[in-house]
Amino acid sequence: MLRESMGLNRLRRLGPPATLWRLFSTCSPSVTVLDRLPSALGTLPPGLEAFRQARGIHRWSDRTNQTGSAELHRLPFSRVSEQDLTFFENLLPGRTITDPDVLMVHNVDWMKSVRGSSELLLRPQTTEEVSKILKYCCERRLAVNPQGGNTGLVGGSVPVFDEIILSTSLMNRILSFDKVSGIITCQAGCVLENLSTYLEEHDFIMPLDLGAKGSCQIGGNVATNAGGLRLLRYGSLRGTVLGLEVVLANGTILNLLTNLRKDNTGYDLKQLFIGSEGTLGVITAVSILCPRKPRAVNVAFLGCSSYRKLLETFQCCRGMLGEILSAFEFLDSACMKLLEKHLKLTNPIAENPFYIVIETAGSNATHDEEKLHSFLAEVMASCLVTDGTVATEDAKVKALWSIRERVTEALTHDGYTYKYDISLPLENIYQLVEDMREHLGNKATNVVGYGHVGDGNLHLNITSHSKDPDLLAAIEPYVYEWTARYRGSISAEHGLGLKKRNYIHFSKPPGAVALMNDIKHMLDPYRILNPYKTLPDHS
Ligand code: FAD
Ligand code: MLT
Ligand code: ZN
């Protein structure tokens, strides 16, 4: 047993003994609780204008650009007419929404950083309805903003001007599940957490997991190629998505909904739509290969005195935990301070510059515990790790995970957040945070780093009391140039959306961007699908 062989003490505040243990290192030397991410969408105060002013939310019709680059102008799309409304009301009775209160929620992104001024929300239930909507919009040159759970972090999920919002929220049926292959096929509007709950009842899990699971939808996940907390183990959606059904801009239904693991008949067209952020088609159904539910899950929350030691711990972890390692995540002490200050979470261990969340998932509890124990003994003995705690019971596992998952939420209470999602060689990841701190001096309230170490993905977040153009000018393009110098990606997993579209050149050569434009032109010649997103202006 982990506890006996380590001589570990029991954690007081986290409850029942058999599940969560405190590790004491000889190198240097406490625990606690939390809950889950609340739905951010239910918290908008009344009165959009008052709300905008209070929070400094950007109104796009002001014609300025959050990123400080060129002004954005409404493209010459048609405006929704009475006749259009009649068409949609006949097609979607009771699901053609013009109520400003409902629209307000759909016009503002999760971070409450951008908002559009759409006056029409459509809620189709079937692929055929989506097809009829898009055929009509294409003929009428009406712009459309596909929207899932509206948890996207780059301003891609909300209209910029008056684009019609096409919400997949009512497309939430599971179409089939094969218990032998583990392949689930469902409509695009299924909420990730609901899919997880359904699968767990059948002894399977979803191959992806993220902090927004309670609100985000599988269609949105695929459209953003979301990475999340399990990518290290189960790979990206580019591997686990087996089939897609997509409705093209002109209403054509493209049925690529196969359940085959191997299919080399021509180009793999579904890959075009994965990560295309609603600019090439509306994803209406998805089939995904799901892993079996692990019988044993352990989570270790560890403290490290330096980023170098954190990397050495990762190296050791991969070697010693091997096939049972399912996540290796980190947050820095600045994140922990925000969790303590804004969410009243308590650090379960002694204060450290860095914190690691390691998850193991396997089929044999004894075997996994032995492996984890050997690994922990090794990293403690070699002083790579100074303190830690381990959980195996579900509630405690969730409690430890929420320390990492709720950093995003804590940041929203720290003022205006400038958010960067960078891929870098592992050795350079934290150097960007340190260089940014030095570069910004006292211009920012906080500069924090966290993310998916196992995937080489840093989340660099910078907060300030309110929106600050001078601060922004100090961050950008510095952050993008820094990233390009190390041959990183300026968007590891969140996409480009509205906020990052004009910085694509820092990560992609002109020829690649030109080819992307050609593909956009072929699939959506009138550019009605999610305009102003993903591709740079003047494309
Ligand atoms: P939305 O936000 O509604 O839309 C996102 C984009 O996809 C938009 O461009 C939209 O137009 C398009 N889109 C949505 N549905 C469709 C569709 N059916 N067809 C075509 N286009 C569509 N991301 C990660 O990668 N990893 C994380 O760990 C992670 N954690 C997060 C934690 C929190 C707390 C939050 C708020 C967000 C997090 N995200 C993370 C961001 C992530 O991209 C989204 O949460 C999720 O993938 C988007 O799904 P959604 O249904 O909310 O899509
Ligand atoms: C995460 O890993 O927590 C998400 O990508 C959200 C974020 O970057 O804040
Ligand atoms: Zn992330």
Distance CA 433, CA 392 (A): 32
- Boundary of a domain, candidates 261, 289, 317: 289
Name the DSSP class of 447: E
Is the pLDDT confidence value at 50 over 90? no
The 10 Å CB-count burial string (b at 16+, else e) for 221-236 is bbbbbbbbbbbbbbeb
Q: Is 283 exposed, middle or buried (0-12, 13-18, 19+ CB in 10 A)?
A: buried
Question: How many whole angstroms from its chain centre is CA 118?
Answer: 24
Distance CA 322, CA 361 (A): 11
DSSP string, 243-256: EEEEE-TTS-EEEE
Site to substitute for ligand 1 among 144, 216, 245, 412, most atoms within 8 A of C-beta: 216
Q: Is residue 264 part of a domain?
A: yes
Q: CB–CB of 353/304 below 8 Å?
A: yes
Contacts of 529 (CB under 8 A, 6+ apart): 143, 144, 146, 249, 278, 279, 280, 281, 282
Q: Is 329 exposed, middle or buried (0-12, 13-18, 19+ CB in 10 A)?
A: buried
498 shares a domain with 426: yes
Q: Is 316 exposed, middle or buried (0-12, 13-18, 19+ CB in 10 A)?
A: middle
263: three-class secondary structure by DSSP: coil
Distance CA 362, CA 383 (A): 27
207 shares a domain with 221: yes
Residue type, 378: E
157 shares a domain with 60: yes
pLDDT digits (tens, 9 = 90+) for 393-404: 999 999 999 999
157 shares a domain with 121: yes
Cα 459 to middle of ligand 3, angstroms: 7
How many domains in the chain?
4
91: three-class secondary structure by DSSP: helix
Question: How many whole angstroms from its chain centre is CA 119?
Answer: 27
317 shares a domain with 255: no
Nearest-CA residue for atom 2 of ligand 2:
451
Q: Is residue 522 part of a domain?
A: no
| Nearest Cα to Cα of residue 53 among 107, 115, 110 | 115
Q: CB–CB of 289/208 below 8 Å?
A: no
Q: Is residue 539 part of a domain?
A: no
Dihedrals φ, ψ of 534, to 5°?
70, -55
110 shares a domain with 77: yes
Distance CA 184, CA 290 (A): 7
Q: Is residue 60 part of a domain?
A: yes
488 shares a domain with 440: yes
Atom number in ligand 2 closest to CA 452: 2
Name the DSSP class of 186: E
Q: How would residue 43 be classed by pLDDT, with cut points 50, 70 and 90? A: very low
Cα 365 to middle of ligand 1, angstroms: 34
Q: Is residue 20 part of a domain?
A: yes
For residue 404, the enclosing domain spans: 5-25+294-408
384 shares a domain with 302: yes
CATH number of the structural domain spanning residue 198? 3.30.465.10
Distance CA 2, CA 9 (A): 11
Q: Is residue 518 part of a domain?
A: no
Cα 235 to middle of ligand 2, angstroms: 17
pLDDT value at residue 65? 38
- In this structure, which ligand is nearest to the CA of 418? 2
260 shares a domain with 324: no
Is the pLDDT confidence value at 172 over 90? yes
Question: How high does pLDDT run on average in the chain?
Answer: 89
Q: Is 339 exposed, middle or buried (0-12, 13-18, 19+ CB in 10 A)?
A: buried
Q: Is residue 143 part of a domain?
A: yes
Site to substitute for ligand 2 among 37, 210, 215, 412, most atoms within 8 A of C-beta: 210
CATH number of the structural domain spanning residue 336? 3.30.70.2190
Atom number in ligand 1 closest to CA 534: 9
Q: How would residue 539 be classed by pLDDT, with cut points 50, 70 and 90? A: confident
pLDDT value at residue 25? 42
What is the pTM assigned to this prediction?
Answer: 0.90
159 shares a domain with 68: yes
Cα 439 to middle of ligand 2, angstroms: 23
**Encoded tokens for 217:** 């939808």
Angle at the Cα of 152 from the Cα atoms of 345 and 215, rounded to 5 degrees = 65
Instruction: Identify the residues whose C-beta falls under 6 Å from ligand 2.
Output: 211, 407-408, 421, 451, 459
DSSP string, 404-445: HHTHHHHHHTSSEEEEEEEE--GGGHHHHHHHHHHHHGGGSS
Cα 457 to middle of ligand 1, angstroms: 17
Angle at the Cα of 375 from the Cα atoms of 227 and 354, rounded to 5 degrees = 55
Distance CA 146, CA 209 (A): 22
Is the pLDDT confidence value at 426 over 80? yes
Is the pLDDT confidence value at 139 over 50? yes
Q: How would residue 70 be classed by pLDDT, with cut points 50, 70 and 90? A: low
Nearest-CA residue for atom 41 of ligand 1:
152
136 shares a domain with 42: yes
- Boundary of a domain, candidates 373, 388, 408: 408
- In this structure, which ligand is nearest to the CA of 461? 2
- Give the residues across from 460 on adjacent strands: 420, 449
Cα 83 to middle of ligand 2, angstroms: 42
343 shares a domain with 420: no
Cβ–ligand 1 distance for 228 under 6 Å, the answer yes
Residues in the chain: 539
Cα 261 to middle of ligand 1, angstroms: 25
Q: What pairing do the DSSP bridges indicate for beta strands 58-59 and 174-178?
A: unpaired
**Encoded tokens for 59:** 């109104």
> Taking phi first (over 0 means left), then psi (-120 to 50 degrees means alpha), and beta for anything else, what does residue 538 get?
left
Q: Is residue 515 part of a domain?
A: no
**Encoded tokens for 470:** 């001078």
- In this structure, which ligand is nearest to the CA of 409? 1
Q: What is the average pLDDT across 334-340?
A: 98
- In this structure, which ligand is nearest to the CA of 404? 2
Q: How would residue 60 be classed by pLDDT, with cut points 50, 70 and 90? A: very low
Please tell me the least confidently modeled range out of 46-55, 78-87, 494-503.
46-55
Cα 380 to middle of ligand 1, angstroms: 38
- Boundary of a domain, candidates 269, 289, 309: 289
Q: CB–CB of 422/460 below 8 Å?
A: yes
Other CB atoms closer than 10 Å to residue 298's CB: what's the count?
Answer: 26
Distance CA 41, CA 147 (A): 13
Please tell me the least confidently modeled range out of 7-11, 63-67, 156-160, 423-427.
7-11
Q: CB–CB of 173/187 below 8 Å?
A: yes
pLDDT value at residue 538? 80
Is the pLDDT confidence value at 304 over 80? yes
Distance CA 220, CA 278 (A): 9
Residue type, 467: K
Q: Is 71 exposed, middle or buried (0-12, 13-18, 19+ CB in 10 A)?
A: exposed
Q: What is the average pLDDT across 67-91?
A: 88
Distance CA 145, CA 327 (A): 34
pLDDT value at residue 42? 30
